[in-house]
Structure 1
Amino acid sequence: MPRSAEDKKRALLRVKRIKGQVEALERGVASGVDCGALLQQIAAIRGASHGLMSEIMEIHIRDELGEDGLTEAQKITRLNDVASLVRSYLK
């Protein structure tokens, strides 16, 4: 979870943009917009979602691996957790 005020602000702005894109998609489906335009909107939503996920993942990695004072075992555990997260993201 984004902890700094700036990280939260950026994440929330991305979420709001995605929300607006999804609402536009809903309106387009309801009004019978051409499939090509709908597919373009869906691709934009997918791109925005991937951008949000990348940003949150970067914040998480910085938080998990950037903390000082961790034992070697804690570092390895956190590294394994982050690696697992990245693998699940790339599926």
Structure 2
Amino acid sequence: MAHTVQERRKLLARVNRLQGQLESIRVAIEEEKECATVLQQIAACRGAINSLLVEIIDGEIRFHVLSKNSKMDSREARAAENLVEILHRYIK
């Protein structure tokens, strides 16, 4: 999946941060923190998960579509780049 060691490290660092966020949510619920506080933590976690999702999809498109498809014309390559940009813009 991650196509370089650097990408894998970056993805694993995101997962580790997510684990910390989830643990904070668990603790907040156990300690009966205010609902708004818990919801804010959940929203932050959701944003982090969406960012991880986009990062993985981005890597897959760039590796499997753009870098391996030498027969792709410039219009098709630009369409794939636009798709990646749209993902980054709208999945947050």
Shared fold per TM-score greater than 0.5: yes
- In the superposition, the TM-score normalised over structure 2's length comes to 0.73
SS, match of residue 25 in structure 1 = helix
Q: Deviations over 1:23-48 (max 9, x none)?
A: 00000001100000000000000000
Which residues of 2 match residues 1-91 of structure 1 at below 5 A? 1-65=1-65, 66-68=67-69
Offset of residue 3 of structure 1:
1.9
Distance 2:59 2:7 in 1: 8
Alignment RMSD, CA only?
2.3
User: How many equivalent pairs are there?
Assistant: 77
- State the identity %: 32
Structure 1: give runs of 5+ residues left out of the alignment: 71-78, 80-85
SS, match of residue 3 in structure 1 = coil
Structure 2: give runs of 5+ residues left out of the alignment: 72-79, 81-86
Distance 1:54 1:69 in 2: 24
- In the superposition, the TM-score normalised over structure 1's length comes to 0.74
